[in-house]
Structure 1
Amino acid sequence: MSDLSQSPLPLSHLRVLDLSRVRAGPTCVKFFGDFGADVIKIERTDGGGDPMGDNRHSSDYVNAQRNKRGMTLDLKRPEGVAVLKELVKTADILVENFRPDVKFRLGIDYESLAAVNPRLIYTSISAFGESGPYRTRPGFDLIAQGMGGLMWLTGYEDRGPLRVGISPADLCAGIFAAMGTFIALVERERSGKGQWVQTNLLSSQIMMLDYQAMSWLMDGRIPQQRGNDHPQIVPTGVYQSLDGFFTLSTVGNDSYLRLCDALDAPELASDPRFADARLRERNRDAMNIAINAATIRRTSAEWVDILNRAGVPAGPIYKLDEMFEDPQVKESGIVQPIEHPELGEVKVLGQPITLSRTPAQFRRAPPALGEHTSQILAEAGFPAEAIAELAAAGVV
């Protein structure tokens, strides 16, 4: 068995077959690997098909692919599919993000694999969903940002749509996929049966619009780009200081009055244009000009201190090097070391989830291509001669 079989980690009893690539799938699988599951990364025999895998020593790849064992398998050949079905017999979860038509063409769709193991949780992440007119379209995060409404909401009205600086559709789809898989695992405890879990980049992106989407669905209002301003809560946004910029946020009249007091600007509290939330939203431009006139007098660090002591949420705007030096970020444990056989000790992003008894562990750097193929096949019951034959034939 794997070296996790006696692990006290909470998911050490689970085995995950990871057929996913790029970002959404690995984001899902990280939750399982970090909390102890035996994750088996299955790749093409030539190592291709995943642009992130072009540089297996890149920071992005190391962070995405940690805590896995690795094997190669040619799923375009019947012998490779037969090997996968043997692995499925002892698997709890399979995660894939092929285009919907590909898995059916290969014969590794949910129904085919559930026939081998009815307890299997089969998790699919696609660009647009498993049905509908766009099901076979290729799609990446940027496409989902545009189609999912996010780019229309991001930036300034006079400058056109703007891409968000991370990959939110990928990341949210991965998180939702993990959540759906955990729900299916809990349900399996009652029914004894697996099921097909599905999510996609487009739906995940739309879900994350939250109150912005509801502005249209219930209120019939199409939200517009607001730059750094909150679309509804004013004042909330980015303000200028003596040495740069900082953020602040108010909710409700009490919070707004505390802000006026902290800014030493009683005229803002008495100005009839800003008397309530609706008026402040209507007159947001005048309000922002007035606040900036007050905040320009002190540094960002001074305002962050003054406002937080006054009970008004405020914070700095960090570059990434500054962010990782913040004492609260250090305290959070979001950065974790991992030992890489070639790079030495490197730092990766940890988990934002803390468990008091069984926290996540960062045990293993990404595997080399096919590093654990023989070990995994032996655990699945393949004799050494059969493994050698599969390797000689290029199946693994």
Structure 2
Amino acid sequence: MESSSYVRIPVTDYYTAALACQAVLAALFVRERTGQGQRVWTSLMHGILALQAGNFVDWPGREIVYRDTPTYRLYRAGDGEWFFLACGNQSFWVKLCKVLGKPEWAGDPRFASWFGRRDNSDALTPLMEEAFASRPRDEWVRILTESDIPCAPTQPLQAFMSHPAVLHHNMVVEYEHAELGRLKMMGLPLRFSETPGVDPGPPPLLGQHTAEVLRRAGYRDGDIADLHRRGVIAGKDL
């Protein structure tokens, strides 16, 4: 590849945890059916390779090509704002050519298929960049949406957190934090019809729930006080 990008989100860590969850669920299902338990494991190496499973499909003579796909990528509009174009099939491509005022592109043999557009991205991408630079982002999003061509504007995190769909699904919750004041956090990302669960609350201060946790574990107040006196435990609620 010509260049590399630093991804701030630890994608591999998250996906490996998801793989571990899938493995545990599968093992529990097997145990329910057979009565047999087993050890399950995965690793960060397994996770990063699983994310690239499509590139592992190989055969003699296959060339692994890393090229931009002109019809499935970010574009900068005329006002400097970005949007994502997801023109993933032939019908979208034909409509896109009409919207851009370039119907001849649909008949160009270089761009006749998805693979052709990918392989000739060096020729097609500059043409599309020039076309999209002719209007503001919001206007392009409106035009493309009205033509049933998938697209979406890029948004800063704060703007996305205020999106009506995000708020409708209660994905942003607010708490009063003892030190930080009003705190916004992500709500529960999973939903269950019968056991909806509760949002976990703000992150605790160090030792905020020491006594509470010990009481749940069966310790009496006198025992907790003794542990505190001897310096075994510390906490905000002692």
**Superposition TM-score, scaled by structure 2 size:** 0.79
What SS is found at the alignment partner of 2:152? strand
Which residue of structure 2 lines up, in the alignment, with residue 364 of structure 1? 201
| Residues 188 and 199, structure 2, Cα contact 8 Å, conserved in 1 | no
What is the percentage of aligned positions where both structures have the same residue? 32
Q: Residues 338 and 363 of structure 1 are in contact (CA less than 8 Å); yes or no, is this contact kept in structure 2?
A: no
1:394 aligns with 2:232: yes
Residue 260 of structure 1 deviates from its aligned partner by 0.9
Q: Distance in 2 between matches of 1:345 and 1:210?
A: 43
Contact 2:79-2:137 within 8 A present in 1 as well: yes
After superposition, where does 1:277-292 map in structure 2 within 5 Å? 277-292=114-129
Check conservation: 2:141, 2:153, Cα contact below 8 A.
yes
**Offset, 1:235:** 1.7
* Higher deviation after alignment, 300-309 or 194-203: 194-203
In the alignment, which residue of structure 2 is the partner of 1:90?
none
Q: Which amino acid aligns with 1:242?
A: G
The Cα of 1:247 is off from its aligned counterpart by 1.4
2:134 aligned with 1:297? yes
Change (3 A) 1:352 1:180: same
- Give the Å deviation of 1:186: 5.0
> CA offsets, 1:106-129, max 9 Å, x none?
xxxxxxxxxxxxxxxxxxxxxxxx
CA contact (8 A) 2:110 2:116 kept: yes
User: Could you tell me how far apart the structure 1 residues matched to 2:193 and 2:143 are?
Assistant: 34
Amino acid at match of 2:14: L
Matched, 1:171 2:14: yes
The code of the aligned residue for 2:232 comes to G
Conservation of the 8 A alpha-carbon contact between 2:74 and 2:83: yes
Matched to 2:51, the amino acid is M
For the aligned residue pairs, the C-alpha RMSD in angstroms reads 3.2
Cα deviations across residues 277-326 of structure 1 (Å, max 9, x unaligned)? Answer: 22212211211122222222111111111112212111112222332233
Q: Could you list the per-position Cα deviations for residues 354-384 of structure 1 after superposition, in whole angstroms to 9, with x for gaps in the alignment?
A: 3344334214323333343444344434566
Matches within 5 A, 1:79-118: none
Match of 2:56 among 198, 214, 219: 214
Matching of residues 1-396 of structure 1 within 5 Å: 157=2, 160-185=3-28, 196-211=39-54, 213-216=55-58, 220-224=62-66, 226=67, 229-230=68-69, 234-244=70-80, 245-382=82-219, 392=230, 394=232
Point out the more displaced range, 236-245 or 213-222: 213-222
Q: Is the 8 A contact 2:171 2:187 kept in 1?
A: yes
User: Higher Cα Rg: structure 1 or 2?
Assistant: 2
SS in 1 for 2:148: coil
Partner of 2:201, secondary structure, is coil
Q: CA deviation at 1:336?
A: 1.7
Q: Is the 8 A contact 2:175 2:182 kept in 1?
A: yes
Q: Residues 342 and 239 of structure 1: is their aligned pair in 2 closer, same or farther, counting only changes over 3 Å?
A: closer
After the TM superposition, which of the residue ranges 386-395 and 240-249 deviates more from structure 2? Answer: 386-395
Distance in structure 1 (CA, Å) of the matches to 2:215 and 2:59 = 55
2:183, 2:202 within 8 Å by CA — same for their partners in 1? no
SS at match of 1:199: coil
Deviation at 1:196, TM superposition (A): 4.3
Question: Tell me, what secondary structure is at the counterpart of 2:41?
Answer: strand
Q: Distance in 1 between matches of 2:169 and 2:62?
A: 41
Change (3 A) 1:182 1:338: farther
- With CA pairs under 8 Å and 6+ residues apart, which has the higher RCO, 1 or 2? 1
What is the SS of the residue equivalent to 1:172?
A: helix
State the SS of the aligned residue for 1:345.
strand
TM-score by length of 1: 0.50
| Distance in structure 1 (CA, Å) of the matches to 2:212 and 2:35 | 29
